[in-house]
Structure 1
Amino acid sequence: MIDNGGHHLAFYVRKGSASTIVLDSGGGEYSTQWKDIAPRLHAATGATVITYDRAGLGKSDVVPGAWKVAGAVSDLKAGLTQLGVTKDVTLVSHSQAGEIANYLAKDNPGMLSGAVLVDANLPPFFTDEEIPRLVAGTQPEVDAAKKDPERPANRQLIATAEGFAEAHRAFHKVEWPDAVPATVMVSEKTPFAGSPEDAQRWRDAAASFVKQAPNRKLITAKGASHEVPTDRPDLVLKVTEDMFDAQH
């Protein structure tokens, strides 16, 4: 259990070499999302493999109020620092964790040796045209969550919705550091299987992100829904191993 400003977060460590792979879950998910992938990564690479529960999920304390990416970045960095992990990290981030990855990389490029962004939130997607569509599209789900606000996944959804537009206008401006290589995995179905327009914008955003530097690669997870770690665990494993091996 890691303390960060008075709240505690659960970190799970499979000890290996000085090189570290960190697996960061999507919104509403926690460390169990990686239960099949983490031990296989550890066996394949010999690296230290770390998973954790973000605030309000799994065994980690609830932090009241709106979900703020700065707090999530602080939690991850504090946990890694207290575990003695300050460099040579391969970061694997799914969905909402893409926001944490972008801010962590921007402010701490020396900590990361590479990243795998798994159907992850990326800055180019959150345009002034797209943000209102996202707010409107998720409102029914948020309203339903408010009927059972203590359920962890619902609590996270409500917290993420609060201040969403302002937070994502800021996120749109974040730039990934050129020094950190990244592989972007996009699910074939995207998070917007019911909206061809939003799905295409999601794909276009990933392609735009990759084109910004020569050390970035784009991979499509064929047949996968947004839940790529569940639908295509072998692909996540292979892409992460490839990124790790390329840096070591």
Structure 2
Amino acid sequence: MSRTSPNRSTYRALSALALLTLTAGAVTACGGNDPAPEHSVSHPAKPAASDPASHPAKASAPPAADRAGASKLRMITNDGHRVAFHVMRGNGRTIVLDSGGGEDSSYWNDLVPRLHADTGATVITYDRPGLGKSEVVPGPWKVESAVSDLKAGLDQLGAHRNVTLVSHSQAGEIASYFAKENPRMLSGAVLVDANLPPLFTDEEIARLVAASQPQVDAAKKEPDEPRNRQLLATAENYVPAHRAFHEVAWPDSVPATVIVSEKTPLEASPVDAQRWRDAAAMFAKSGPGRTLITAKGSSHDVPNDRPDLVLKAIEGMAATPAG
């Protein structure tokens, strides 16, 4: 069940894809060192929580086949393509884990059984198109399509209320639009070193695009490789998409825990790293029910660097009563 720790070059690619090759681009442009290799930690599952105050008393029991302690694959059809959702059934609450750019649902493999055991909630992960078991969708990456896929999946899985959305990196963009359009579905969100609107000023967008161009050019040499395909799809309409994202407002009715890494994905560029931290702080201060947590010592790969911190934040938010 443990996620294989990425080696140095792979980690650069994963972080880069989360923000249009942001990390790799910044490293190249600034001449910094590679981030240190990350190490995932495997933990045994804890006994299931049984606090009656934290679980809906009349939640219907899931089918026995879905309580076997392993995620079940559900293929959801939306807008002509199929998206893979992985579901570990629990009580009436739902925790959805959304991976960053270039990552599929396996990114959360170490955390899923722990969350399920600790909370008793239904835990859902999914593969965005072109990754994991989901079908490829040609053309530029569009956050509107990503939101539509997530909404269709949750609707078809019966998760209409009391959802805690956990979003890492690029998935912060999906979370922002999803929360804006579907605030009543969410009891809260945990944004893990996530893309947040305050970062994407015109000046910062221009810096990121310029820094990433060598990686975009390199990806064009192997366009069918899944991460390259995702990178090229993201790059195709990056500027207008992120100008629009900069204007997105998070709904006041949805509480959010914002976890920002100490090193950030822009560690090699002190200016951009500070802007990343400032954007997280600005977002956290700009509305009610928001909490900022700094993952000290962590790279952008917070779920693997600081899994207990992430678990604590998710479990705390999942226990929050729905508004």
Q: Smaller-chain TM-score range?
A: over 0.9
Task: Output the CA distance in 1 between the equivalents of 2:261 and 2:321.
Answer: 25
Can you give the 5+ residue segments of structure 1 that lack an aligned partner in the other structure? none
> Hey, what's the Cα distance between the residues in 1 that align with 2:302 and 2:222?
27
Which deviates more, 205-214 or 112-121? 205-214
Q: Report the counterpart of residue 88 of structure 2 in structure 1.
A: 14
Kindly tell me the number of residue pairs found equivalent between the two proteins: 248
Q: How does 1:224-239 map to 2 (within 5 A)?
A: 224-239=298-313
Provide the residue aligned with 1:155 in structure 2: 229
Q: Does 1:219 align with 2:293?
A: yes
* Aligned mates of 2:263, 2:217 — CA distance in 1: 25
Match of 1:137 in 2: 211
Q: Classify the secondary structure of the residue corresponding to 2:140.
A: coil
Q: Does 1:80 align with 2:154?
A: yes
Specify the SS of the correspondent of 1:247. Answer: coil
Shift of 1:214: 2.7
Matching of residue 41 in structure 1 with residue 115 in structure 2: yes
Q: For 1:19 and 1:197, locate their aligned partners in 2 and report how far apart those are by CA, in whole Å.
A: 40
Bigger Cα displacement from structure 2, 230-239 vs 95-104: 230-239
Q: Secondary structure at the match of 1:220?
A: strand
Task: Report the secondary structure of 1:218's partner residue.
Answer: strand
Counterpart contact for 2:187–2:320, Cα < 8 Å: no
Contact map agreement 2:141 2:233 (CA 8 A) in 1: yes
Q: What is the 5 A alignment of 1:109-128?
A: 109-128=183-202
Moved more, 68-77 or 205-214: 205-214
Aligned sequence identity (%)? 72
Q: Distance in 1 between matches of 2:227 and 2:240?
A: 22
- Match of 1:114, SS? strand
Show the counterpart of 1:176: 250
Residue in 1 that maps onto 2:280: 206
Residue deviations 1:89-111 (CA, integer Å, cap 9, x gap)? 00000000000000000011001
- Displacement of 1:244 in angstroms is 1.2
Letter of the aligned partner of 2:245 in structure 1? Answer: F
- What is aligned with 1:3? 77
SS in 2 for 1:201: helix
TM-score (normalizing by structure 1): 0.98
Q: CA deviation at 1:246?
A: 2.7
- In the TM superposition, residue 141 of structure 1 has moved relative to its aligned partner by 1.1
| Structure-2 separation of matches of 1:231 and 1:147 | 32
Which structure would you say has the larger Rg? 2
Cα distance in 2 for partners of 1:104, 1:207 equals 21
Paired with 1:195 and 1:146, the residues of 2 have a C-alpha distance of 25
TM-score with structure 2 length normalisation?
0.76
Instruction: Calculate the aligned-residue CA RMSD, in Å.
Output: 0.8
**CA distance in structure 2 between the partners assigned to 1:85 and 1:100 by the alignment:** 17
What is the alpha-carbon distance in structure 2 between the residues aligned to residue 214 and residue 106 of structure 1?
15
Find runs of 4+ consecutive structure 1 residues off by over 6 angstroms. Answer: none
Which residues of structure 2 form unaligned runs of 5+? 1-74
Q: 1:167 — aligned with what?
A: 241
Correspondence 1:28 to 2:102: yes
Residues 114 and 247 of structure 1 are in contact (CA less than 8 Å); yes or no, is this contact kept in structure 2? no
- Could you tell which deviates more after superposition, 62-71 or 207-216? 207-216
Residue 227 of structure 1 and its aligned partner are, at CA, apart by 1.0
Give 1:146 shift.
1.1
* One-letter code aligned to 1:107: E
Note the alpha carbon deviations across 1:138-160, whole angstroms, 9 max, x for none. Answer: 11111111111111111101100
- State the 1:48 CA deviation: 0.3
- Deviation digits for residues 82-137 of structure 1 (CA, Å, limit 9, x no counterpart): 11111110000000000000000001100100000000000000001100001011
